Chain A
Amino acid sequence: MAGPILRVENIHKAYGKTEVLRGVSFEVAPGEVVVIIGPSGTGKSTLLRCINQLTPPDQGRVWLEDVEITDKRTDINKAREHIGMVFQDFNLFTHLTAIQNVMLALTKVKRMSPAEARAKAMLEMEKVGLVDKAGLYPAELSGGQKQRAAIARSLAMDPKVMLFDEPTSALDPELIGEVLEVMKTLAGEGMTMLVVSHEMGFAREVSDRIIFLENGAISEDGPPERFFTNPKNARTREFLGKLTELYGNHGGPRGGRRKT
């Protein structure tokens, strides 16, 4: 398939007087894994939310393949069926079991029969390694299991693009690895992923491209090798150094799980 799967053009977003995103534009090719990094408060989460219109941008346009999502005439609910989102706080539906969480959108949005939905949900649960936890409620799951369930929930919709908003930031260190493993597998299978994260090891090993967002604009955008060995800006180098120091090297070649 030619052409980018996701195109973001000139996104502006302000909260009150503070402009959080000042003209962000980029493209994502099918199957690409893009990691967005940057100092806190630079609008990384806002950017993701502008892409699926959870937070409508003040200005700017977004295309999913050749459909302009930001067009008022586009059915945003239909568009969102193709964009999966994984949240820092998981946001699992607390009144449903893990498998029911995965099934809900299948029955309500895709209008599958309960049997079909369950079969599909079980497939996704297998993929994330939660088959034996299917009947448990979110409160009975560990953080890593919750996030994996959340990933299964989004995957069940067979999205074209998956957005990850700091998926491991709310997890205890020993649980981060299991989630990154799932994300790595997804990437290996060719899923187009846009990941906001501090996990430098993951970025180094799995991403095709790293975008450095600073002061609401993209200050660097390139493949990880160049990023880590020879970034264009001193500020980027400084930030990367600090991140690696703080967050370690999870999911990277020399990092990975400290405990099992």
Chain B
Amino acid sequence: MFRPARDHRLDLSLFLRSLKFIAPAIKVTVLLTVFALTFGLVFGLALAVARVYGNRFAATAAGAYSRVVRSLPTLVVLYIFYNLAWVAFRVGGVAAAVIALTACTTAYQSEIFRGAIQSLGTGQMAAARSLGMSRATAIRSVIIPQVLRLAIPSWSNEAAIVLKDSSLASAVGTTEVFRRAQQIGAANRDYLTAFLAAGLIYFCLTFITNRVLDFGHKRYKLKT
């Protein structure tokens, strides 16, 4: 099926047709990415806080989750959580794909935020507590605002990764950009052109994402 093309001449009109065919799925790719990244941020941050400030049980559980998920290929994690979403919540389709992608990025983001918290050092928490702030207030008002800003560069890397990993949702039945590329590739028996077209789309999406996040970094980074 995916035999490498020999004697391949790039047919520009086919390339453009492929682009046109794939384009409607861009919004699905973007949707998957945005939801997974957003939920991943919330849960990843929560896990990181649990790892650093939580009691022994919470810290160990959070650590175990992160370790296990990061030890498996993304595709495997996706299959597992896609099926879990059905078994546990009777959810399927795109929603389940989002759940699966979220489960994956949560683990990686928890590492990003944990690293950022630790790079902050213990002095910030000490100063906050010495002023009479509770641990929760200190985490909310002092630690997290700084952690979010510190994490922007690593996070934008993860954002690009999630965008690309959204292509794996095709394996669990979601029709996003990659799936459409497979479809038009099969229809014309020219996978190379189809995937080049998909590649161009992913490139543009990643480029835009990185630009936006670079701007965010310049605007919000901590002055040192």
Where the two chains meet, the residues of A that have a C-beta atom closer than 8 Å to any C-beta of B are: 52, 54, 77-78, 80-81, 83-85, 87, 89, 91-95, 104-105, 108-109, 137-140, 150, 153-154, 157
Contact = CB atoms under 8 A, between A and B. Distances in A.
B127 interface: yes
Given A95-B146, A108-B141, 19 more contacts: A77-B132, A80-B131, A84-B130, A87-B123, A87-B126, A91-B126, A91-B127, A93-B128, A94-B222, A95-B149, A104-B131, A104-B141, A105-B133, A109-B137, A137-B223, A138-B223, A139-B224, A157-B131, A157-B132
A202 B159 CA distance: 54
29 contacts: A54-B129, A77-B132, A77-B134, A80-B129, A80-B131, A81-B132, A84-B130, A85-B127, A85-B130, A87-B123, A87-B127, A91-B126, A91-B127, A93-B127, A93-B128, A93-B142, A93-B146, A95-B146, A95-B149, A95-B222, A108-B133, A108-B137, A109-B137, A137-B223, A139-B223, A153-B127, A153-B131, A154-B130, A157-B132
A83 B131 CA distance: 8
Closest 3 interchain pairs by CB?
A: A81-B132, A91-B127, A139-B223
| Residue with the greatest number of chain B CB neighbours at <10 A, chosen from A81, A84, A95, A138 | A95
Interface in B135-154: 137, 141-142, 145-146, 149
Contacts of A154: 130-131
Given A94-B222, A95-B149, A109 B126 contact: no
Contacts of B128: 93
Contacts, number: 68
B131 A109 contact: yes
B124 interface: yes
A78 B134 CA distance: 9
Contact of A83 (B130, B134, B146): B130
Nearest to A94: B222
A8 B103 CA distance: 50
B133 A77 contact: yes
B130 A80 contact: yes
A94 B128 CA distance: 12
Nearest to A138: B223
Nearest to B137: A108
Nearest to B127: A91
B6 to A, nearest CB: 58
A94 B223 contact: yes
Contacts of B127: 85, 87, 91-93, 150, 153
A92 B127 CA distance: 8
A140 B131 CA distance: 23
Nearest to A136: B223
B130 A54 contact: yes
Contact of A109 (B132, B146, B223): B132
A249 to B, nearest CB: 30
Contacts of B145: 95
A95 to B, nearest CB: 5
Nearest to B134: A77
Contact of A78 (B123, B126, B132, B222): B132
Contacts of B141: 104, 108
A150 B142 CA distance: 15
A55 to B, nearest CB: 9
B130 A140 contact: no
Contacts of A157: 131-132
